[in-house]
Amino acid sequence: MNAKKVLPILFLIMFLVMVGFGIIIPVLPFYAEELGASPTELGLLMAVYSLMQFIFAPMWGRVSDRVGRKPVIMIGIFGLSLSFFMLALSTQLWMLFAARIIGGILSAANMPTVTAYVADITSENDRGKGMGVIGAATGLGFIFGPAIGGVFTNVNLHTPFYLAGIVSFLTLVLVMLVLQESIHYSTSNNRTKRNGTWSKVVRGPLAMLYFLQFFISLSLSGLEATFAYFAAVKAGLDSVTLGYLFMIMGLASAVVQGSMGKLTKLFGEARIIQMGILVSAVGFGLILFTENFTTAAIFLSVFGVGNGVIRPSVSSLLTKKSSYGHGTATGYLASFDSLGRIAGPVIGGLLYSMAIGLPYISGILLSMIALVLFQGYRARESMRVRG
């Protein structure tokens, strides 16, 4: 399979998936409030989706190792489309929860399986480039989706959900007609008989990479949950301006992810992960000195560039080093990422209530923990090679 021809198709698929997902982001809180959700229930509505992803991503990864990537990707996108239509038709709060739970369970198949697909069709030299393409597509989709959702909210609160459902359904048709199966090209076929379990993963030689991703996700989601309040206090920025800021950060991240092929060939995944963590930590520190829109845009972009290169590089390294199938390895990575997204907003909110700068100071500390974990992984890997 020619990776140069397939990667643009995967880019388009993941871009559309994230556009559909992003469309509902600005409207879901207002929609839930209209159906009587309290702030606590709204928080639970957001968290339950990530909880389902945390539980089910490893399962879908294993399934894709056994039955193939294409059917599992189709299940994931179908789940998104179904959940969006369920949300659009909801008339009671429990229906929103049912839609989010079903969507979380089924769409947990998307990211690990697409990532495994990239690992199947790329050589080790081009793996970083492939992972960067998927990261860029995800980031760009998440930029355009909320913007589109915000526009269609002016029609009525139901319209963005119908639109997201249609976009996801059309993406499903695209996958069905255009995407070929990749499992036959996987270099991990001889590994798929090994069963990956949580106990084996957290005690295995690659455990530090998984925990690294957890801490990176934890710090990122803490920033996302609190920066609106922080920017309002420090620089007097409103929600519209905040949307532009996150768009700028996303674009900076997407640009550097799109350059992952060149960066990986120049430096290798290990050095990129180290540099990404350090740049992220610098970004967290700079954010504390936000004074206006310009400084906020620059500091968030610095953070976005550093954070953007970490996940693709970790994904690339894991699929090269894991003794499990590509789907199993990326499924557990997605699960650790989801766990960080569950805990991050809660911890970030608590820290912000104590002092507005604490989420970003903790971001620096979490980045340093991630760096120590990665150095531990490298030391262990070096000993294994020498031994």
For residue 25, pLDDT over 90 is answered with no
**Distance of alpha carbon 375 from its chain centroid, rounded?**
23
Instruction: Name the pLDDT band for 18 (thresholds 50, 70, 90).
Output: very high
Residue 385 has what pLDDT? 73
| pLDDT at residue 40, as a whole number | 85
Residues 6+ apart with CB under 8 A from 132: 257, 258, 259, 260, 261, 263, 264, 309, 312
For the chain, percent of residues with pLDDT exceeding 90: 78
- DSSP designation for 121: H
Whether 225 has a pLDDT exceeding 80, the answer reads: yes
Q: How does DSSP assign 11-78, residue by residue? A: HHHHHHHHHHHHHTTTTHHHHHHHTT--HHHHHHHHHHHHHHHHHHHHHHHHHHHHH-HHHHHHHHHH
- Give the C-alpha separation, 314 to 273, whole Å: 7
pLDDT at 386: 74
pLDDT level of residue 1 (50, 70, 90 thresholds): low
User: What pLDDT, on a 0 to 100 scale, did the predictor assign at position 294?
Assistant: 96
pLDDT one-digit tens code per residue, 35-70: 998 888 988 998 899 999 999 999 999 999 999 999
Which of 326, 315, 323, 332 lies closest to 65 in space, CA to CA? Answer: 326
Query: What is the model's pLDDT at position 194?
Result: 59
Angle at 51 between CA 45 and CA 52, to 5 degrees: 100
Contacts of 197 (CB under 8 A, 6+ apart): none
Please tell me the predicted confidence (pLDDT) of residue 189.
60
Spatial neighbors of 133 by CB under 8 A, at least 6 apart, are 7, 10, 11, 118, 257, 258, 260
- For 107-145, how does the pLDDT look when each residue is reduced to its tens digit (9 = 90+)? 999 999 999 999 999 999 999 999 999 999 999 998 899
CA 98 to CA 93: how far, in whole Å?
9
Q: Which helix (H) or strand (E) holds 355?
A: none
Predicted pLDDT of residue 30? 86
Mean pLDDT of 86-106: 96
Check residue 188 and give its pLDDT.
65
What pLDDT does 227 receive?
93
Q: What is the pLDDT of residue 340?
A: 95
Residue 370, C-beta contacts closer than 8 angstroms, at least 6 positions apart: 212, 215, 216, 277
Which pLDDT band, with edges at 50, 70 and 90, does 382 fall under? confident
Residue 176 has a pLDDT of 96
pLDDT of residue 3: 79
> What b/e sequence results for 289-323 when a residue is b if at least 16 CB atoms lie within 10 Å of its CB, and e otherwise?
ebeebeebbebbbbbbbbbbbbbbbbbbbbbbebe
Q: What is the pLDDT of residue 195?
A: 66
Residue 193: is its pLDDT beyond 70?
no
How much is the pLDDT for 157? 86
The DSSP-derived string for 159-205 is HHHHHHHHHHHHHHHHHHHHPPP-GGG-TTGGGTTSPP-HHHHHHST
Give tens-digit pLDDT for 270-313.
Answer: 999 999 999 999 999 999 999 999 999 999 999 999 999 999 99
pLDDT of residue 262: 92
Cα–Cα distance for residue pair 86/157, rounded to 1 Å: 14
